[in-house]
Structure 1
Amino acid sequence: MKSSNPFPEVINPTAMYRAPECARLFGIGLSTWWHWSKTGRAQRGIKLGPKTTVWEGCYLLELKQKLISESQN
């Protein structure tokens, strides 16, 4: 049984995050995260290898702020 954390996770601006971690940080599904990346809602990640893509923590913080401000308008 998976316990849910009632507190939001802190995004480290100097860390790199893979897609499953990004989806979890934004509270969305993995396929939604990839859709966001494909359609431009989130920038495309940095390819480290043929099956490894990461996003910078500082970018994720910026994206989170952007989405919060969009929701308040």
Structure 2
Amino acid sequence: MSQLPSNGFLRLPQVLALIPVSRSAWWAGCKSGRYPKPVKLGPRTTAWRAADIAALLEKLTAEPEEK
């Protein structure tokens, strides 16, 4: 896993580089609550808290893969 900042924000391309899902699957997961909620930084700027993404990565690596 790459070095994630302990605080700060990640934009969508950075998140998708860490979590291999499509953009539409990511947004659907955010809407359903499976993935962290985004933070609006401006009218056309959306990001996710680095701590939330780090927690998600830990959760995903701890879960056994579904078959």
TM range (shorter): 0.7 to 0.9
Max radius of gyration: which structure?
A: 1
Runs ≥4 residues deviating over 6 A: none
- TM-score, with normalisation over the residues of structure 2? 0.78
Q: What are structure 2's unaligned runs of at least 5 residues?
A: none
Match of 2:11 in 1: 18
**In the comparison of the two structures, how many residue pairs are matched?**
66
The residue type equivalent to 1:51 in the other structure is R
Alignment partners' CA distance in 2, 1:30 and 1:56: 17
Q: Secondary structure at the match of 1:71?
A: coil
Q: Percent identity?
A: 30
| Pairwise CA RMSD | 1.9
Q: What are structure 1's unaligned runs of at least 5 residues?
A: 1-7
- TM-score, with normalisation over the residues of structure 1? 0.73
| Residues 20-51 of structure 1 deviation map (CA, whole Å, 9 limit, x = unaligned) | 21111112222222121111111211111222
The residue type equivalent to 1:67 in the other structure is L
